[in-house]
Each structure stands twice: as structure tokens, then as C-alpha cells.
Amino acid sequence: MPTSRSRFAAIGGCLLAILGFRVLLIARLGSPTPFWDQWAEAMSVYLPYLSHTLTFDHLVAFHNEHRLLLTRVTALALFLLNGTWDPILQMLIGALVHVAAIGCLIVFLSAVLPFGRLVALLALALLFYTVPFGWDNTLSGFQIQFYFLLLLSVVSLFLLSRAQAWSAGWLVGTLLAALGYFSVASGSLILPAAIVLALAQIALGERSGAREWGGIALQAVIAAFIIHDLLAYAPRTAVIDASVRQLFSSLMISASWPVAARSWPVVLQIVPAALVCAPILILATRVVRQPPPLGDRRWYYVALATWLALQLIALSYARAGGTIQSRYTDIFIIGVILNFAALLFLRSEPTESKQRRLLSCGAALWIFAVMLGAGQKAVGNVIDEVSFRYASGQRQIENVRAFLATNDFAALDNKPTFDIPFPDARTLRDLLTNPSLRAILPAELTGVAQRRPVRDAILSQGPLLVPIGLALLLIAAIASLSKPISEEPDRAAG
């Protein structure tokens, strides 16, 4: 039988390989030029810090509808450690936070799976996280907030799904869930997901008493305060004028990722959404019919499914027609991993032969549909989009270098949209002519030599984590075999 060390080695190998692929992508295609919204870091963090006017209000202020406290604190910490503004270093830290979130997700979901099914889950995770579906977050130093959202959601819901109210785990989970609001705006939905789960557990008899009701009341007050802050004080951003049909279509496309496409008729989008989400819906139905004890990991599956549903609804409402953007796929992949883990769990449960055959056919259909959709998106979207980002990043470097060398506004003015790294050329000019900001720009833009031995070593040697991780995963899989290969003929003969 596989040991806990085999499970640890297999999961560790998968995560090392994913991290190695991320480092490889950043090393080959990452641009050192701050891009688009990242210039807000200069105005809200670096310039106030350098002028000794930085306050907590700067760190917690809204950026559109988001209070990016965690992103700004991370940026400031890296600036203090590094001495310069370095988007490549920020990308590497973002990759590390994302891999931590992936690791927690896999560990929490796989506890109910036998080792063989764990290996299948790791194989799927390896595929979906090494193909850069979420390239927009990986190749931007400013998108770490999405990774903080995933990490805080995954960990806090794990704690809250199984801990009794007011216990140490419950308090930590509630704190992490509240902190999620300071990643991105949809972090405000972590506590509502936990509240829905707790109410369901009370209704099913797995929670009871005044302590549990008091815990839900506290979480409801915190959630109400957070949502009020978001709705009352966040700057009003442009709202997409969408019909109910468009909103529903966006929800179906998000729920069915990577299968459905926006070009499909809405009626046909429902079918893949139902197929992709079928495993977790079946598992949740069984949990409701036969509620497991509070500490059972299946409650975590239900908690994560509730969170995912709220995320997809909010995203479809706020970004109707735009949910297919790369930056949101890291949320969609959580749904793929969750549903595949639920599918593996359902296949491991003892069932009648007829139900087993039905589950086998359903599993084959689910895998075929998801893999076909993922392959189509990888070939038809990811390669072209990443290539465009790299090519435009190279033009941005050239134009910013030219301006810094000559102070000639012609290097920035009247350029195609993505040939400069900010939508307004005059604002970019004003930022680049600021002496304090110019002094902290990356060396790749200014030409000033900078010693970055650790960062450069990670970029050059980090991709070696790919073969190391894959080797570790294969070794763990081989070591878990219950019988040596040489014994198999004897067993067959007997």
C-alpha cells in the first residue's frame, strides 16, 4: 500500500514541475516593463514612499472596485528588499503564491482519494497548470491579487467547512476569509460561501447550538460590512449593458470552461455546463441525502463548489461577454480540478454494477469533452495570445528605452495601443520624467547595471524543476506498486 511519503512525494513532484514551467514561461516571455494598471503602483506606493508621505490609506485605497492591500504590501516589501521596481521578480513571487494555492487545493481534495486516483488528479492538474491558460496573470507583475484570492479561499474554506464555531481553526478561517476582500473584490464572497455551507450543515443536523448560530451571526456581520464597503465606496466603473440572455450565456460559458464557446447558441451552452459540473452536483446531492460527520472532507467539496458558483455569478454579471479573458481562467481551472476530484471520488465508492457502468461512461464523456475543449483553447487561443503579449512587450521595451535615452516624446506619442505600456502617452511621459521614479526603474529599461544574482539564478536554473518534479512524481508512482513486476506472472499463474 502507498505510504504517506509516497503521497507527499507525488504531490511535491507535481508542484515542482508546475513551478518549473512557470519560471520557464517568465524567463522566456516575461517583460520587465510595468504594464497598464501596474503603473498605479508607482502612484499609490513607490512615489509616496520615496517622498515619505506613504500612509495606510494609500495601501488600502480602491483601485477600480478592488482594495489591493495585499498586492501593494507585497510590492512594497519586494521594493525594499530589491531596491528597484522589478516586474519579473513580482511575477516569480506570484508564481510561488499560485503554486502554494494549487498545493493546498490538491492536498485538501485528495485526502478522500486512494493513491491511484491521486495520481490521476495530479496528471490533470499538471496538464491544466503547465499549459499557460492563465498567462495574463503569470506574465504580469500586477496580477498577484488573483493568486491571493485563490490561496485565501482554498485555505479558509477548508478550515471553515470542518471546524466548530469559535474554535482556533474557525477563527483563523474567518480571519483569512475576511482578508480575502483585500485581494480582489470577489474576495468578499468567501464568507457568504462559508455561511451558506454552515446553514446547510445546521439544516442537516451536523451543526447545532447557540455557539454555531453566534458564529454565523458574526460572519454575517463581517460579510455585510465588507459588501457595504464595496457597494457604497468603490469607484463606479463602466457597467456592461447586457441582457438577461447575455448574462446567462456568460454564466454558462464560465461554468462549462473549457468546453463551450461564445459563438455557440445559448441553448447548446447549457449542455456542456451541466456535463462539466455534473460530478460535483452528484457528490453534493449525496452529501445532502446522507450527511457525513462535520470533519469529513466531502464538506470541503461542497464549500468550494458554493464559492465557485458565487464567483462565476459575480464574474458573469460584472464582465458579461468578457469572462473568457485569460486572467479569469485560474478561477475556472479550480472548477475543473474540483469536478475531476469529485468524479474520482464517485468512481471509488462501492456501487451496483449498473451504476458503475453508468459512471464509467459518464467519466469517459467528461474527460473527452474537457480534454477536447482544453486542447482547442490551447491551440486556438493561448499560443496566439502569448505570442502577441511577448511581441508587444518587446516593442514597449524599445519605446520606453528610447524615451528614457532621449526624452523625446515622439518615442511614446501616436503609437499603436499596445506599443507603449500605458493607454495614455502623456501620463506615461510624466511618470517616466519623474526623477524619483526613473531612479527605480528596471535595469532592462534604464541600462544601469544592477546585481541580481538570486533572481537571475532562479530564472536560469528554475526550469530544471520540471524534470526533477516529473522524476519525483514517477518515482512515487512506481514505489506505490503493491507487487514487484517479477511477481506478476506467478500471481497470474496461480
Summarised one tens digit per residue, pLDDT across range 373-386 is 999 999 888 999 99
According to the model, what pLDDT value does residue 323 have? 66
Does the structure show a pLDDT above 50 at 487? no
Three-state secondary structure call for residue 63: strand
Q: How far apart are CA 198 and CA 200, in angstroms?
A: 5
Percent of the chain with pLDDT over 70: 95
- Is pLDDT at 330 greater than 80 in this prediction? yes
- The gap from C-alpha 139 to its chain's centroid, in whole angstroms, comes to 13
Per the document, the length of the chain is 494
Contacting residues for 285 by C-beta, under 8 A, at least 6 apart: none
pLDDT band at 489 (very low <50, low <70, confident <90, very high): very low
Helices (H), 378-493: 383-406, 425-432, 435-438, 443-446, 453-461, 465-479, 488-493
Looking at residue 486, its pLDDT comes to 42
Instruction: Report pLDDT for 356.
Output: 81
Which residues are CB-neighbours of 324 under 8 A, at least 6 positions away? 253, 262
Give the domain ranges of the chain.
4-389
380 within 8 A of 388, measured Cβ to Cβ: no
Q: Is the pLDDT of residue 1 over 50?
A: no
Integer-rounded Cα radius of gyration of the chain: 24
pLDDT per residue over 416-470, tens digit each? 989 999 999 999 999 999 999 999 999 999 988 788 889 999 999 999 999 999 9
DSSP H or E segment with residue 191: helix 190-203
pLDDT in tens, 274-310: 999 999 999 999 999 999 999 999 999 999 999 999 9
Q: Is the pLDDT of residue 482 over 80?
A: no
pTM assigned to the model: 0.93
Show the cell assigned to 372.
477536447
* pLDDT mean over 155-168: 97
Write down the pLDDT at residue 322. Answer: 63
Q: Take residue 390 and report the three cell numbers written for it.
A: 511577448
pLDDT digits (tens, 9 = 90+) for 2-34: 678 899 999 999 999 999 999 999 999 999 999
Asked whether residue 491 carries a pLDDT value surpassing 50, the answer given is: no
Look at residues 22, 24, 36 and name the one whose alpha carbon lies nearest to residue 393.
36
**b/e per residue, 451-460, with b = 16+ CB within 10 A?**
ebeeeeebbe
Cα angle 183-58-186, degrees, rounded to a multiple of 5 = 20
- Flag whether pLDDT at 259 surpasses 50: yes
Question: Residue 81 is which amino acid?
Answer: L
Distances (CA, A) of 381 to 94, 95, 147, 377, 388: 23, 21, 22, 5, 11
One-character DSSP codes across 225-293: HHHHHHHHHSPPPPPP---HHHHHHHHHHHHTTTS--TTS-HHHHHHHHHHHHHHHHHHHHHHHHSPPP
Residue whose C-alpha is closest to residue 475's, from 58, 147, 10: 10
Is the pLDDT score of 238 beyond 80?
Answer: no
- Comparing CA positions, the residue from 231, 170, 236, 157 lying closest to residue 197 is 157
- Check residue 348 and give its pLDDT: 81
Q: What is the predicted pLDDT for the residue at 488? A: 39
Quick one: cell of 105? 487545493
Share of the chain residues as helix, strand and coil, in percent rounded to the nearest 5: 75, 0, 25
Q: Which residues pair with 67 in a beta bridge?
A: 62
Mean pLDDT over residues 137-144, rounded? 93
